[in-house]
Amino acid sequence: MSQHDTAASEGGLENLLHEGRSFPPSAEFAGQANTGPEIYERAAADREGFWAEQARELLTWSTDFSEVLDFSGAPVARWFADGRLNAAYNAVDRHVEAGLGDRVAIHFEGEPGDTRTLTYADLKDQVSRAANALAELGVRTGDRVAIYLPMIPEAVVAMLACARLGAPHSVVFGGFSAEALHSRIVDADARVVITADGGYRRGKPSALKPAVDEALAKGGPVEHVLVVERTGQEVPWTEGRDVRWADALAAAAPEHEPVPVEAEHPLFILYTSGTTGQPKGILHTTGGYLAQCAFTHKYVFDLKAESDVYWCTADIGWVTGHSYVTYGPLINGATQVIYEGTPDTPDKDRWWEIVEKYKVSILYTAPTAIRTCMKWGAEFPERHDLSSLRVLGSVGEPINPEAWMWYRQTIGAGRTPVVDTWWQTETGAIMISPLPGITAAKPGSAQTPLPGISAEVLDERGQPVPDGGGGYLVLTEPWPAMLRGIWGDPERFHDTYWSRFEGMYFAGDGAKKDDDGDIWLLGRVDDVMNVSGHRLSTTEIESALVSHPVVAEAAVVGAKDDTTGQAVVAFVILRADEQQRVAEIGEDIVAELRAHVAKEIGPIAKPRSILVVAELPKTRSGKIMRRLLRDIAEGREAGDVTTLADSTVMDKISRGMQR
């Protein structure tokens, strides 16, 4: 990254923008890609016509639609509203009908090393039986079903079984507490919960069913619990309420007629956290959502369904698992890998072993995972043949240029395109991303709205910023997979997303346009700091820290400061494979890193304090919980830690702080 010292006076986003590297696709990749640059022109010339084409080409409709978009009830859009279709039919049956029943849909790898292969024909059988079993338990079209499962094939089967009946699912991440599960069940008014005895994590069985029992003991609408047997561990049992998944499926017929629903019929509710403590039930419907999932999965990853092996490491408990494990890949008839456990069980090369074993060609993961692998060192991927990989994707937070480079070089052998995909639970599918056969990719930038998507960066007053300027990311036109609201709270939907800028969707992310007009995401607006009147992005300082050879991962927060308003406080994890270098720097490590940030960005960005830690507090979806770090940095007890993947991390960090 280039050195400069003007950032302080210009507001401090310059570090990212001096990232000048660019990686155009090879002629070979571009030559075989699913599309060329004309796709942007086609979409720009007739946006609605373009989406109608995609919806008809990528989905099978039981009743064709005549209307594409109706936004007269803005901000709630209706796409393809008079069409009818069924999501499970599109994801499963039609592939079997097309003679692809023997194609592998899912290569499942359990954490203990057990494996299962499900073809599309197997999936059809399982999903049909599960739909019949749910119907037997009283689930009707429109009823909500909660799903609380580990990453096992039944998670996908359960979602599709609900979709087959037109019963919206509400997946609750398997790591969430009984309390969180209870509030989501009550809010969605779910009548059935699908769960498992437990799943394998970090080398041992981890129970799930007791949390369901605890949640249901608080009361609520649930009549039945379907229990998958995964670990075989003892679980409490409530006769009459609890039903064994295996028994119910065995008793059910393998034939089930999918229910064609209106395009705007709710497909799922997925809870996500907002700026308040109360989670929002994000509502997605069927036709538009599936069309954009299929489109983005096909073009962003350049999917060749007949030959690729695709692996998205996300859990189905968050939106990436919905759109890019369950719906996108299966609608497109892809073959995918599902892995149950953690990346370091039994050893830190588990992911790379899986890539080699299944010849994974498309890998989609999160920056936090990439940085963790960087921290562990290149020796782990180097143990395996990763030459099957041809496209790498990133999602979930801004990816630091150094992590991007490491991903491309160390995992992709300097050969694979990397697509940095920006989107949200609310957007349903990828919105801003390079296309791997077209875009000259810039490390750290999501760059370009996809064909058919319109985004802009606005200043405080709602004016588009010029190239080189920074502000707030908005989406200026409705898109097919957009959320249709917050379950049960239309007012909050309007206030959260549609009130900041008239007629536009406010994403809550800061962004910058570079001199080419490409978009760089800078993190949530609430993560933007103001130090002595200078606007600094947490992401930018984190990137500067990670660009130092001994730093694996960094989290930066703005802590209240009497003189400067806010002060930069950084938490860093050092690279395990650079111990020699760390030892050489010794006690001076903090001074060295502060000087490094000053050099990379400017003195204004220099952290007031830097704490070397062994771990960072992360949610189960891998997001760093800066709120907790801010508590520590401001000398408070850390707040609510219940959504942390490992709730002991904060204790360790505060103990380190007192020393």
Residue 66 assigned ligand-binding role: no
- Which residues make Cβ contacts (< 8 Å) with residue 290, sequence separation at least 6? 59, 85, 87, 90, 267, 327, 331
In the shown chain, the binding pattern of residues 255 to 294 toward ligand WTA, with x for contact by CB under 6 A and - for none, equals -----------------x----------------------
Q: Is 436 one of the binding residues for ligand WTA (CB under 6 A)? A: no
Q: Is 509 one of the binding residues for ligand WTA (CB under 6 A)? A: yes
- Which residues make Cβ contacts (< 8 Å) with residue 421, sequence separation at least 6? 296, 300, 364, 393, 394, 395, 430, 432, 433, 446
Task: Choose, by CB under 6 A, the member of 235, 290, 507, 597 that binds ligand WTA.
Answer: 507
* CA–CA dist 1, 388 (Å, integer): 30
Task: Choose, by CB under 6 A, the member of 163, 181, 395, 519 that binds ligand WTA.
Answer: 395
Q: Is 421 one of the binding residues for ligand WTA (CB under 6 A)? A: yes
Q: Is 176 one of the binding residues for ligand WTA (CB under 6 A)? A: no
Nearer to ligand WTA, 187 or 242 (CB): 187
Task: Choose, by CB under 6 A, the member of 25, 168, 288, 398 that binds ligand WTA.
Answer: 398
Distance in Å, CB of 351 to ligand WTA, minimum: 20
Residue 425 assigned ligand-binding role: yes
Task: Choose, by CB under 6 A, the member of 396, 401, 470, 480 that binds ligand WTA.
Answer: 396
Distances (CA, A) of 185 to 11, 131, 155, 268, 271: 45, 20, 17, 13, 11
Burial (CB < 10 A; 0-12, 13-18, 19+), residue 637, is exposed
> Taking contact as CB under 6 A, which single stretch among the options 83-91, 187-195, 197-205, 507-515 is the one that binds ligand WTA?
507-515
Task: Choose, by CB under 6 A, the member of 422, 472, 487, 505 that binds ligand WTA.
Answer: 422
Task: Choose, by CB under 6 A, the member of 143, 397, 402, 578 that binds ligand WTA.
Answer: 397
Q: Do 284 and 323 form a contact (C-beta atoms < 8 A)?
A: no
Distance in Å, CB of 323 to ligand WTA, minimum: 8
What is the SS3 string spanning 559-603? EEECCCEEEEEEEEEECHHHHHHHHHHHHHHHHHHHHHHHHHCCH
- Measured at the alpha carbon of residue 418, what is the angle toward residues 396 and 511, in degrees to the nearest 5? 50
Which DSSP symbol is given to 548?
S
Q: Is 340 one of the binding residues for ligand WTA (CB under 6 A)? A: no
Residue 203 assigned ligand-binding role: yes
* CA–CA dist 24, 441 (Å, integer): 6
- Which residues make Cβ contacts (< 8 Å) with residue 182, sequence separation at least 6? 214, 215, 216, 218, 220
**Pairing between strand 551-561 and 565-574?**
antiparallel
Q: Is 505 one of the binding residues for ligand WTA (CB under 6 A)? A: no
What is the maximum span of the chain, computed from C-alpha positions, in angstroms? 71
Task: Choose, by CB under 6 A, the member of 90, 292, 320, 538 that binds ligand WTA.
Answer: 320
Distance in Å, CB of 521 to ligand WTA, minimum: 3
> Taking contact as CB under 6 A, which single stretch among the options 64-72, 391-399, 434-442, 639-647 is the one that binds ligand WTA?
391-399
* CA–CA dist 216, 213 (Å, integer): 5
Residue 143 CB neighbours (<10 A): 19
Residue 439 assigned ligand-binding role: no
> Taking contact as CB under 6 A, which single stretch among the options 85-93, 283-291, 505-513, 542-550 is the one that binds ligand WTA?
505-513
> Taking contact as CB under 6 A, which single stretch among the options 237-245, 340-348, 352-360, 394-402 is the one that binds ligand WTA?
394-402
Residue 596 assigned ligand-binding role: no
Q: Is 321 one of the binding residues for ligand WTA (CB under 6 A)? A: no
Q: Is 619 one of the binding residues for ligand WTA (CB under 6 A)? A: no
Q: Is 449 one of the binding residues for ligand WTA (CB under 6 A)? A: no
- The candidate with the shortest Cα–Cα distance to 333, out of 288, 285, 294, 390, is 294
Strand partners, 392: 363, 418
Which DSSP symbol is given to 422?
B
Q: Which residues are annotated as a binding site for Mg(2+)?
A: 546, 548, 551
Q: Which residues are annotated as a binding site?
A: 201-204, 320, 396-398, 420-425, 509, 524, 532, 535, 546, 548, 551
Residues that bind ligand WTA (CB under 6 A): 272, 318-320, 395-398, 420-425, 446, 507-509, 521, 524, 621
Q: Which residues are annotated as a binding site for CoA?
A: 201-204, 320, 532
